[in-house]
Structure 1
């Protein structure tokens, strides 16, 4: 399957803290930037953090129940290969990352079984990283 990179621009109310987070926690390389925004190579996709006053969603996270966990909404992230996901989970745990939902396997033994984890950036933007052992399960019902 060949995918086109997505472009996602998100608000951050502390550009310096968010820049350090995406650089240090994930080791993302920077592209273009200005005094008010920074481009990142987000696992092959273009993520742009834009300086912006705190949004209501960053003030109080809304959640929906999924597989016994409170999933933050909205959120974004990427689907990684299983090994990449495991390496990222290990990296984040080694950094004593505070997770919204700790890394685990969701829907175990069911259609759509997947590894997942959720965390917040310093500005309250929720991120999900997931992986499937069988990528054919990505859109399975």
Structure 2
């Protein structure tokens, strides 16, 4: 049903649009698509991420579960490039990198980041890419 031209959409709160642009564009390398007084839209690894200006909705402390989002990389080299980018740009890490479910079919590498508004991002790469869904 989903075509390669389609994009998944996720919307999250932010306390400051400038800070969101700094983090997502100049930190993670997302492309700025549109900006309005109350929100900013990014091309986030081929999907649409919208940061809505809503300081009241920003959680005071970052918590990974149950709400987080990110990318499951099919190729290990893409995950490795992200780890290098995180280290080079000194992006804030919430936890990891780590190996989860070691020794099982669902074994995967993961890293959790925290953005300036305490939204948690998880990036991962399964040893067996068939298990990313």
SS for the counterpart of 1:90 is helix
Which residue number in structure 1 is paired with residue 71 of structure 2?
Answer: 78
Are the aligned partners of 2:96 and 2:111 in contact in 1 as well (CA < 8 Å)? yes
Provide Cα deviations, 1:31-81, integer angstroms capped at 9, x if missing partner.
1221221111111100011101232x621334xxxxxxxx44311111113
Structure 1 residue runs without a partner (length 5+) = 63-70
1:87 counterpart = 2:81: yes
For 2:109 and 2:25, the matched residues in 1 are separated by 24
Which residue number in structure 1 is paired with residue 22 of structure 2?
Answer: 20
For 1:115 and 1:38, the matched residues in 2 are separated by 30
CA RMSD of aligned residues (A): 1.9
Which residue number in structure 2 is paired with residue 58 of structure 1?
Answer: 59
Provide Cα deviations, 1:4-57, integer angstroms capped at 9, x if missing partner.
4211111101111111100111111111221221111111100011101232x6
TM-score using structure 2 length: 0.87
Which residue number in structure 2 is paired with residue 34 of structure 1?
Answer: 36
For 1:61 and 1:43, the matched residues in 2 are separated by 22
TM-score using structure 1 length: 0.82
Provide Cα deviations, 1:92-134, integer angstroms capped at 9, x if missing partner.
0122223111212211221201110001100100100011131
